[in-house]
Chains A and B, each alone.
Chain A
């Protein structure tokens, strides 16, 4: 592992998880982009692209309701691609390497969102003083600095220690922990969906939740089809409901 590749991998991870721009960090953190950058640094763009796309495809359908990520595909790509490039591993082996790190990355995001509570409380104080600049810093640069430390540093250390260190990490991960983390990954979106249900806050509308849920389970329709049917149901309710019903 060259230093340049370790820095590239760690920087890819930082930019992919920096949360700057609601959608921008997603594209910087996509497997294809990380594969391209690492391939460029290593000197083999095509292999990098193919590895990146293969890892990307594993996580294609991932959605993070209320910001609740089920797995960290960015960590998966940022660690597996540089290692696989430097170690001459096959794309399949890169994917095998990626998955456990995707699970571990969820921890880091939970640490980030827990640490952001500190800045929120600081912003409360600034608000009471009418200090707009302080609120701005608590909402931007301070969390970004924390993100840099918890994202860039561990990946950089791991990558610069090289393949042996990474395999050591995988070895000491017991199988119950990886299974547990993957179960947790399947459950994390449930928190996000429940938060949104709570935000909608009208228990009388829960039957629509069940219609949506079982339309997928029994009829196996796609999300897009569900959106079309859902929109029609909502429009019917809009045009037929009188104000008293709605209130």
Chain B
């Protein structure tokens, strides 16, 4: 009956609910973020990447919220063992939203499991794109550059400058998680209905796509040393120069795109993919195609 009321008067009911339910305190949110932060990469596997970490982070809360409803609890655990991968600092906003959704679901609100999984899969890619470029690339290399400059001058303080990196990640990550939780607690159902959320996913996906292009351009490196002598030419034809003449960065682009096509055709064997690429690189070097 109370769930029916929600459908009719979402606003009035939500404020009532948040008064009667204490929700997670800031301290609990911080501890949750620390758990996410500390264990984030430890269990990273080629099968489902950060899936196990997400489940480890959620599990204590799920246990508390679902209590003795064992079946629902097990379902929730399994829900969070599905493929997941993002950048954990910016991406902790997803964890915050999901916490609020699971809390509501456990309380009996009508939140389908697909909506929770949908939020995760919808946001993890864009957040990875944004986080990898802001945190893992720009912030990290800036801090390390300062540290190296000091250390080269023989200043031992330089050795401790890299510690700024985790400190900033913990602060930013905690506020992202809190942001996600607060937004989710007050408005997730409203947002889901209004279509606002798909606009957020759309815009962040654009930024993610754009940044992936920019980072691929800078960090994927593939060149060929091939060249051949034409009969009447004075200089040998250098294949790399030919390729650069057509479109610069053609080989790195082909590499990213080839792998993307494999993955989007349903390829799941990340581990095999890594070893196959390693073999291609080595065979290519032996044959003198790559260098």
Contact = CB atoms under 8 A, between A and B. Distances in A.
Contacts of A22: 37, 40-41, 88-89, 166, 169, 173
Nearest to B244: A217
A167 interface: no
Chain A interface bracket (under 10, 10 to 19, 20 to 34, 35 or more): 35 or more
Nearest to A37: B159
A68 B73 CA distance: 33
A191 B274 contact: yes
Interface stretch (B12-20, B55-63, B99-107, B182-190): B55-63
* Secondary structure class of chain A's binding surface, majority of residues: helix
Contacts of A179: 285, 290-291
Contacts of B22: none
Contacts of B196: 243
Contacts of B204: 234
A105 B44 CA distance: 17
* Secondary structure class of chain B's binding surface, majority of residues: helix
Contacts of A135: 52, 55-56, 59, 77
A212 B169 CA distance: 25
Contact of B43 (A52, A139, A177, A230): A139
A118 to B, nearest CB: 8
Contact of B199 (A33, A49, A214, A238): A238
Interface of A: 18-27, 30-33, 35-37, 45-46, 49-50, 52-54, 56-57, 60-68, 70, 110, 113-114, 116-117, 119-120, 123-124, 127-130, 132, 135-136, 138-140, 143-144, 147, 176-177, 179-181, 183-191, 193-203, 205-206, 208-218, 223-224, 226-227, 229-231, 233-235, 237-238, 241, 243, 245-247
Please provide the 8 A-B residue pairs with the shortest distance between their CB atoms, ordered closest to farther: A212-B213, A180-B282, A199-B125, A186-B221, A36-B159, A200-B125, A116-B45, A243-B195
